[in-house]
């Protein structure tokens, strides 16, 4: 059996555009393209065709095929086959000129499994305009063996130029890839090329592409790559590595120096401003077979440990894993945080300990240091019980630490061991741990949050509610400065939440409203200056 032809497809200007919103700049678009032509790569994808986006000479995302004629006017495409990509449903057939009238030779159409039949009908319409059509199976890992055979039968009816397996979330290993390929290879018409588009979430993009190229199939195969692996999420199989492999093992004659020059003159500058590639974020998404937006949502909460994030993602049903649903993940987050516990005994113990004492609550705001004399004077005069929130200050001894965020626990233990609060007891909310023995006191998380607002687990609000639950008539606050868009809100920047400056006005107004609503239940005084007073 004779091995089929092996070819490479570059999609830097398209997939790489996710990194910089396709704003390469016109000169750099042309430089990337001309270098790729000189490298000898067979197929060059020049960007998305998306009717929702206005024409921009500096971006590789275009409303129609006519835009490609304007951007690449006078450019020599040499022997390369020039491609555009359509995410099915974003660019109708009316935005495509006949192939002979445009710079573009072929169009790749991406679609998810549930849109398979209507997307293939669209592919047939595009093909009728004279384009080489590539049918792109997004999230190929969602297809069962039976569905793969069904897809093969459907694709054989229209006979596109090629069909590609798209590992959208980088989930495949070499064995899984070759299993999928074996089914398609057996059932797809032998005249249709089969391609593979990798992502690098598990650092397997190049390895998987190499495995496909090395197969002894008689079918013509092609593998996607991008310069320096530039691309969505963890990036793609690096084109320069694929060229190196092809030159060494498959009789390739690619000029890799052209690609390396492009990395040096164009791509690395982008990388320094907005990096891509393998990292823990994309590893978590892939290892749990979940959409990356789920990971982003949970990590941005800044309340969960990595272990807890993985536990939540592990509970998602299969039909939700790769189809992001914001409301659904919010519900799962709340359900996970609201770990049931009977805290009546701990509330009674705290009520007895706090009864008749002044209480000072400490936050991590800058005034803890800037107005330290106010704090030490209050402590000297009032001899209060001192409770800090999610940290233990190094120079002010505290009696208790109120812990609401699992992510803060490791840092808290370090604070306590190196500061003046080594004997402080921890009052934890029930979302932090399921082991009662870990902390001195555990209070019900669901009794302290505010599910009616955007950020349901504001630590100060939770602590004030806890003080009311244990029967205190009054508390004093220090280090609860409120939020500013223009300055650091914490004495230690590592403690600041990513959304603190962005949502400063909302957070300040929300806490002020809570303080107003608590009047009559809890008297609150400020020892240090705070925006919550205004």
CATH number of the domain bearing residue 93: 3.20.20.70
Instruction: Clarify whether residues 18 and 72 are in a common domain.
Output: yes
Token pair, residue 110, equals 């991406």
Instruction: Clarify whether residues 365 and 404 are in a common domain.
Output: yes
Domain contains 470: yes
Q: Does the CA dihedral 364-332-144-132 come out positive or negative?
A: negative
Instruction: Please report the pLDDT score of residue 500 as a whole number.
Output: 53
Domain contains 480: yes
Of 325, 340, 355, which marks where a domain is finished? 340
Instruction: Clarify whether residues 227 and 289 are in a common domain.
Output: no
Domain contains 490: yes
Instruction: Clarify whether residues 310 and 403 are in a common domain.
Output: no
pLDDT tens per residue across span 121-152: 999 999 999 999 999 999 999 999 999 999 99
- Tell whether the model's pLDDT for residue 503 goes beyond 90: no
Instruction: Please report the pLDDT score of residue 231 as a whole number.
Output: 94
Average pLDDT over residues 368-387: 94
Domain contains 531: no
DSSP E strands in 353-487: the ranges are 359-362, 385-389, 400-403, 425-429, 441-443, 474-478
Domain contains 356: yes
Instruction: Clarify whether residues 249 and 288 are in a common domain.
Output: no
- Tell whether the model's pLDDT for residue 255 goes beyond 90: yes
Q: Does the CA dihedral 351-352-357-363 come out positive or negative?
A: negative
> What 3 state SS string does 467-518 have?
HHHCCCCEEEEECCCCCCCCCCCCCCHHHCCCCCCCCHHHHHHHHHHHHHHC
Rg (CA), the chain: 29
Domain that holds residue 332: 280-340
Instruction: Clarify whether residues 334 and 190 are in a common domain.
Output: no
Question: Burial, 212: exposed, middle or buried (Cβ in 10 Å; 0-12, 13-18, 19+)?
Answer: buried
Instruction: Clarify whether residues 401 and 522 are in a common domain.
Output: yes
pLDDT tens per residue across span 444-495: 888 898 888 878 888 999 999 999 999 999 999 999 998 877 665 554 444 4
CA pair distance 351, 163, nearest whole angstrom: 68
Domain contains 532: no
Instruction: Clarify whether residues 351 and 265 are in a common domain.
Output: no
Domain contains 533: no
pTM above 0.75? Answer: no
Domain contains 466: yes
Instruction: Clarify whether residues 424 and 514 are in a common domain.
Output: yes
Of 321, 340, 359, which marks where a domain is finished? 340
- Tell whether the model's pLDDT for residue 362 goes beyond 60: yes
* Least confident residue range of 182-186, 331-335, 384-388, 442-446: 331-335
Instruction: Clarify whether residues 387 and 311 are in a common domain.
Output: no
Three-state DSSP at 49 gives strand
Instruction: Please report the pLDDT score of residue 491 as a whole number.
Output: 44
Of 340, 358, 376, which marks where a domain is finished? 340
CA pair distance 457, 441, nearest whole angstrom: 19
Instruction: Clarify whether residues 355 and 401 are in a common domain.
Output: yes
Number of domains in the chain: 3
Of 301, 282, 296, residue with least CA distance to 235: 282
Instruction: Clarify whether residues 217 and 296 are in a common domain.
Output: no
CA pair distance 331, 75, nearest whole angstrom: 53
């Amino acid at each position: 059996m004779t091995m089929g032809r092996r070819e490479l497809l570059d999609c830097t200007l398209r997939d790489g555009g996710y990194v910089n919103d396709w704003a390469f700049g016109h000169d750099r678009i042309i430089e990337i393209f001309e270098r790729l032509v000189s490298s000898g790569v067979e197929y060059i994808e020049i960007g998305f065709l998306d009717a929702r986006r206005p024409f921009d000479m500096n971006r590789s995302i275009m409303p129609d095929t006519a835009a490609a004629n304007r951007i690449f006017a006078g450019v020599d495409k040499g022997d390369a086959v020039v491609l555009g990509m359509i995410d099915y449903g974003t660019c109708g057939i009316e935005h495509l000129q006949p192939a002979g009238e445009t710079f573009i030779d072929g169009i790749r159409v991406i679609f998810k499994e549930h849109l398979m039949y209507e997307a293939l009908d669209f592919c047939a319409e595009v093909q009728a305009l004279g384009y080489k059509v590539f049918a792109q199976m997004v999230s190929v890992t969602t297809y069962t063996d039976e569905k793969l055979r069904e897809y093969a039968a459907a694709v054989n009816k229209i006979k596109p130029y090629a069909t590609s397996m798209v590992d959208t979330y980088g989930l495949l290993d070499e064995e899984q890839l070759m299993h999928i390929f074996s089914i398609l290879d057996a059932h797809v018409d032998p005249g249709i090329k089969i391609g593979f588009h990798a992502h690098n979430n598990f650092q397997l993009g190049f390895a998987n592409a190499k495995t496909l190229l090395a197969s002894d199939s008689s079918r013509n195969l092609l593998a996607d790559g991008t310069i320096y692996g530039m691309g969505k999420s963890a990036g793609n199989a690096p084109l320069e590595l694929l060229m190196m492999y092809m030159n060494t093992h498959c009789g390739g004659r690619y000029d890799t120096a052209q690609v390396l020059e492009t990395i040096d003159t164009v791509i690395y500058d982008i990388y320094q401003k907005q990096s891509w590639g393998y990292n823990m974020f994309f590893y978590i998404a892939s290892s749990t077979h979940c959409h990356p937006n789920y990971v982003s949502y949970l990590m941005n909460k800044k309340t969960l440990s990595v272990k807890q994030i993985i536990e939540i993602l592990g509970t998602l049903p299969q039909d939700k894993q790769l189809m992001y649903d914001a409301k659904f993940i919010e519900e799962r987050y709340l359900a996970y945080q609201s770990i049931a516990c009977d805290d009546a005994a701990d509330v009674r113990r705290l009520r007895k300990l706090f009864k008749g004492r002044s209480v000072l609550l400490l936050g991590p705001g800058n005034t803890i240091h800037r107005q330290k004399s106010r704090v030490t004077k209050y402590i000297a005069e009032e001899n209060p019980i001192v409770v800090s929130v999610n940290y233990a200050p190094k120079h002010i001894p505290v009696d208790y630490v109120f812990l609401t965020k699992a992510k803060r626990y490791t840092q808290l233990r370090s604070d306590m061991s190196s500061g003046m609060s080594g004997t402080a007891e921890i009052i934890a909310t029930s979302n932090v741990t399921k082991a009662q023995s870990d902390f001195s006191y555990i209070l019900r998380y669901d009794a302290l949050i505010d599910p009616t607002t955007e950020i349901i687990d504001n630590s100060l609000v939770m602590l004030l509610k806890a003080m009311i639950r244990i029967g205190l008539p009054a508390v004093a606050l220090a280090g609860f400065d409120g939020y500013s868009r223009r300055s650091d809100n914490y004495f230690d920047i590592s403690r600041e939440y990513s959304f603190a400056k962005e949502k400063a006005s909302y957070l300040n107004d929300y806490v002020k409203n809570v303080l107003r609503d608590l009047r009559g239940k809890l008297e609150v005084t400020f020892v240090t200056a705070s925006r919550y007073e205004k």
